[in-house]
Amino acid sequence: MDTGKVTHRGGTNLRLMILGTAIGLLYGFGVRLALRFVPAFPQSPVMTMGFLVFLPFAMGFLTAFFTETKQPQRIRAWLLLPWVSVLAALAATLAAFLEGLICVVMFAPIALWLSTIGGLVGGLTARFLRSRRLRGMSLACLMVLPCLVMPWEKQVLYQEDFRRVETAVDIHAPAAVVWQNIARVPAIRPEELTPSWSQRIGFPDPVEATLSHEGVGGVRNASFSAGILFLETVDVWEPPSRLAFSIRADQVPSTALDEHVRVGGPFFDVLRGEYQLEPLPNGTVRLHLSSQHRVSTDFNWYAHLWTEAVMADLQNRILHVIQQRSERAALVRP
């Protein structure tokens, strides 16, 4: 008899958990779907603190609040069930082509963490707030909070930051040989590129860089996969030690990158690049590659972590190609 009761109760609780996560999923996906059709927004509603912070918090709150209200749960259920809601909602946005893989991967870490906090608050609210009226008001406030914050937050939270990313590699080749491989970059074969986490989530591969003429004023056409082209105008030409240029996105097809991370778009742009060659005592050259980019969001404190990581990954891939080509050229040079 006792075994049967435990089994029945366990089955009931499992159904409650499934229903609670489904409610959180439907709420989160429903808000994202509705925002798809919001007109005349000053910026994409997805690129707001209301969406990034308060929506996953509300999803976690709703999931844990519902399950705890129906039947007392262990604290770990408050903390972990919201993850199921968030991950399912992210999968749904991918399936519905509302977001690209890049944005989903960038959103997931903070969304999971905040949904757990929301789940803890929702579980505590359902367990210790005795007034049914107050509990209902708490739930209603949390559900509308993301949409209340989005319209006005830009006036308070928006920032435009300029970030610099520096990478370097040691090359066993003369500076003159290295210079030849940075001034122009002939077509890169796929096998020359190192494996890349940023490429796996959708960022394009470098293809080649041509140069109209040597010296200040020369224009490098830096092309990437998916039809992306940057115009790089040389403003420092000091062979064989320093090459610097401004960068302007010339061609970025709408299908190449998600609108929220598009280079040259309202939220992100790459502005400058610079190579510096540092001779080392052992006859090698340390090649430095730095870049400057713009980040313009309501949450630059989080966005710049991703932009800097992506730029560093891209620069390291380019440096690897230059290193391998320069060292091979040095071996056969008279």
DSSP character string of 157-197: H-EEEEEEEEEEEEESS-HHHHHHHHH-BPPPPGGGSPP-H
Do residues 185 and 55 both lie within one domain? no
Q: pLDDT tens, 31-80?
A: 998 887 765 455 678 899 999 999 999 999 999 999 999 888 999 999 99
Mean pLDDT, to the nearest integer, of 144-171? 93
Q: What CATH number should be reported for the domain holding residue 299?
A: 3.30.530.20
Confidence of residue 247 (pLDDT cuts 50, 70, 90): very high
Residue ending a domain, choose from 154, 189, 210: 154
Q: pLDDT tens, 4-18?
A: 343 445 667 888 888
| 242 phi, psi to nearest 5 deg | -150, 135
Q: What is the mean pLDDT of the chain?
A: 91
Mean pLDDT, to the nearest integer, of 115-130? 93
Place of tokens 């993301």: 146
Do residues 237 and 275 both lie within one domain? yes
Residue ending a domain, choose from 154, 178, 194: 154
pLDDT over threshold 70, residue 175: yes
Q: What is d(CA 17, CA 24) in angstroms, rounded to the nearest whole number?
A: 11
Confidence of residue 120 (pLDDT cuts 50, 70, 90): very high
Ranges of beta strands (E only) in the chain are 159-171, 206-211, 219-224, 228-238, 242-251, 268-279, 285-297
Q: What is the pLDDT of residue 3?
A: 41
**Which residue, 62, 101, 105, 103, is CA-closest to 85?**
62
Question: Model's pTM, two decimal places?
Answer: 0.88
Check: CB of residue 181 under 8 Å from CB of residue 325: yes
Do residues 163 and 136 both lie within one domain? no
- Cis peptide leading into residue 240 (ω within 30°): yes
% of the chain with per-residue pLDDT over 70: 94
Assign 3-state DSSP to the chain and report helix, strand, coil percentages, each to 5: 55, 20, 25
Do residues 64 and 198 both lie within one domain? no
Mean pLDDT, to the nearest integer, of 119-137? 90
Do residues 141 and 55 both lie within one domain? yes
Say which amino acid occupies 118.
Answer: G
Q: pLDDT tens, 276-286?
A: 999 998 889 99
Do residues 30 and 50 both lie within one domain? yes
Which residues form the domain of 118? Answer: 2-154
Order of strands across the sheet that contains 219-224: 159-171, 285-297, 268-279, 242-251, 228-238, 219-224, 206-211
Do residues 165 and 300 both lie within one domain? yes
Check: CB of residue 334 under 8 Å from CB of residue 177: no
- Tokens read off for 253: 């097809």
Residue ending a domain, choose from 154, 175, 197: 154
Do residues 251 and 308 both lie within one domain? yes
Do residues 177 and 219 both lie within one domain? yes
Mean pLDDT, to the nearest integer, of 128-143? 88
pLDDT over threshold 80, residue 306: yes
Mean pLDDT, to the nearest integer, of 252-274? 89
- Tokens read off for 210: 């041509």
- Is residue 217 helix, strand or coil? coil
Do residues 125 and 205 both lie within one domain? no
Q: What is the pLDDT of residue 1?
A: 38
List the beta bridge partners of residue 263.
Answer: 268
Confidence of residue 2 (pLDDT cuts 50, 70, 90): very low
Do residues 61 and 8 both lie within one domain? yes
% of the chain with per-residue pLDDT over 90: 71
Do residues 207 and 115 both lie within one domain? no
Domain count along the chain: 2
